[in-house]
Amino acid sequence: MPLILDGKKAAEALAAALQEKVKLWPAALTLSVIQVGARADSNAYIKAKTAFAEKIGVKVELVKFPEDILEEIVTSAVLERNNRTDIQGIIVQLPLPAHWDADVILENIIPEKDVDALTAKNVKNLLAGRAGLMPATAAGILKLLEFYGLPLSGKRALVVGRSLMVGKAIALAFLNQDATVTICHKKTENLAALAKEADILVVAAGRPALIGKDCVKAGQVVIDVGINEVPGGKLDEEIFGRKLVGDVKFDEVSPIVAAISPVPGGVGPMTVAALFSNLLDLVGNLKY
Ligand code: NAP
C-alpha cells in the first residue's frame, strides 16, 4: 500500500508550531474575514478557518454583508481594516458575486495583510520566484510534501488545472522549488500519457474520477486537490459535513503509486493551516 499523505496529521503538527508563535505575539492576533452573501461552501470554509484559528489562539472577525451590498461598502470595510492595528490579516472570501470584479476588491488589501496572497505584489513575487507568501493551497501542498520528506528539486511534476489561485500557483511554487513542471488543462492532448511521465502528479481540476489507473505508474506521488460533492463520497466531518471525493479514483490509483493524498483529509486541512502560516509570516515581519 502507498504512503498516505495525511493532511490532518500534518496540519496538527503545523498547528502546534503556529500556536507557539502566536504565544510570542504580545497582543491578540486577529484575522478579518469579509464575506459577501452566504454560500454554503463559503460558510463551510470560514467555519474551518475559524476552528483552526481557535486551536492556535488567533481571533477571527467575521464581517458579513448581504449579496446585494454595494461594492463601495465592501471596499470601505477593507480599507478601514488596512489601517487598524488590532487586525493583522484580511481575507475577502471568494467567490464574490458573479458580476463583481474580484481583483478590484482584492487589490484594496495592503500586501502586509494579504493572507491569501492574491494581491498583485504577492502574485508577482511568486512569478519572480522571490521569497514571500503564496496562495494557501500551494503553500499547504509544499508543507505536506515537506512533512513527509518528499523533495521537489529535480523532480518532474505535472499539474492538472491552470486557475490562478490553484493550478498556476501550485505550478509556480513547484518551479520555485526547482521541479520541472508541466501544466495541463481541458485542451491538453493525451493527458494520461503525460501524467504517467511525472514523478509528482497534482490534480486540481474539480472533475471527479478524472485520474484513474491509466494515468499513473509505480513510484509516483499523487496529490489530489479536487473537492467534489457527490452522494457516494466520504463524509468530511471537519470542514464540510458533506460527502466529498477528489479528482482521483483513490481505490484504483492507490495500489499502484508510492504516495497519495486522500480527499477528504489531504490538501484541504493543509490549505487552512497554510493560511495561518501566512498570517504568522506576515506578523513576523512586523516590529513590536
Ligand atoms: P477552476 O477554476 O474550475 O479550474 C479548473 C481547472 O481544471 C481549469 O484550468 C480547467 O482547464 C482544468 N480542467 C477541468 N477539467 C479538466 C479535464 N477534464 N482535463 C484537464 N483539465 C481540466 O477550479 P479551481 O478553483 O482551480 O479548483 C480546482 C479544484 O480544486 C476544485 O475541485 C476545487 O474545489 C478544489 N480546491 C481545493 C482546495 C483544497 O484546499 N483542497 C483549494 C482550492 C480549490 P481549462 O483552464 O482548460 O478550463
Q: How confident is the model at residue 288 (pLDDT cuts 50, 70, 90)?
A: very low
Indicate the Cα dihedral angle 261, 226, 154, 125, nearest 10°.
-120
Q: How far apart are CA 126 and CA 268, in angstroms?
A: 21
Query: What CA–CA distances, in Å, run from 152 to 28, 178, 191, 237, 259?
Result: 36, 7, 21, 31, 14
206 Cβ closer than 6 Å to some ligand 1 atom? yes
Given 93, 168, 177, 224, the catalytic residue: 93
162 Cβ closer than 6 Å to some ligand 1 atom? yes
42 Cβ closer than 6 Å to some ligand 1 atom? no
* Residue 127 neighbours by CB distance under 10 Å: 13
Angle between helices 40-56 and 267-284 in degrees, nearest 10: 60
CATH 3.40.50.720 occupies which residues in the chain? 136-268
pTM tops 0.85, yes or no:
yes
Q: How confident is the model at residue 285 (pLDDT cuts 50, 70, 90)?
A: low
pLDDT at 286: 57
Q: How confident is the model at residue 283 (pLDDT cuts 50, 70, 90)?
A: very high
Looking at the CA of residue 167, tell me the nearest atom of ligand 1.
Answer: 26
Identify whether 93 is a catalytic site residue. yes
pLDDT at 61: 98
Give the cell for residue 31: 484575522
Query: Which contacts qualify for 106-112: CB closer than 8 Å, 24 or more apart?
Result: 108/75, 108/78, 108/79, 108/82, 109/78, 109/82, 110/82, 112/282, 112/285, 112/286
| CATH code given to domain 136-268 | 3.40.50.720
Looking at the CA of residue 267, tell me the nearest atom of ligand 1.
Answer: 41
Identify whether 49 is a catalytic site residue. yes
205 Cβ closer than 6 Å to some ligand 1 atom? yes
Q: How far apart are CA 148 and CA 128, in angstroms?
A: 27
44 Cβ closer than 6 Å to some ligand 1 atom? no
Chain CA centroid to CA 86, Å: 25
**Residue owning grid cell 474580484:** 102
CATH 3.40.50.10860 occupies which residues in the chain? 27-111
Q: How far apart are CA 203 and CA 159, in angstroms?
A: 6
Q: Render pLDDT for 190-219 as a digit per residue (tens, 0 to 9).
A: 999 999 999 999 999 999 999 999 999 999
Per-residue buried b or exposed e for 88-112, using 16+ beta carbons within 10 Å of the residue's own CB: bbbbbbbebeeeeeeeebbbbbebe
Fold of 27-111: Rossmann fold (3.40.50)
Q: How far apart are CA 274 and CA 238, in angstroms?
A: 16
**Residue owning grid cell 497582543:** 27
Looking at the CA of residue 272, tell me the nearest atom of ligand 1.
Answer: 40
**Residue owning grid cell 452573501:** 37
Stretch (H or E) spanning 174: helix 169-176
Q: How far apart are CA 170 and CA 273, in angstroms?
A: 16
pLDDT value at 280 more than 50? yes
Looking at the CA of residue 246, tell me the nearest atom of ligand 1.
Answer: 32
Distance (angstroms) between ligand 1 centre and the Cα of 247 equals: 9
Distance (angstroms) between ligand 1 centre and the Cα of 257 equals: 22
Average pLDDT of 144-153? 98
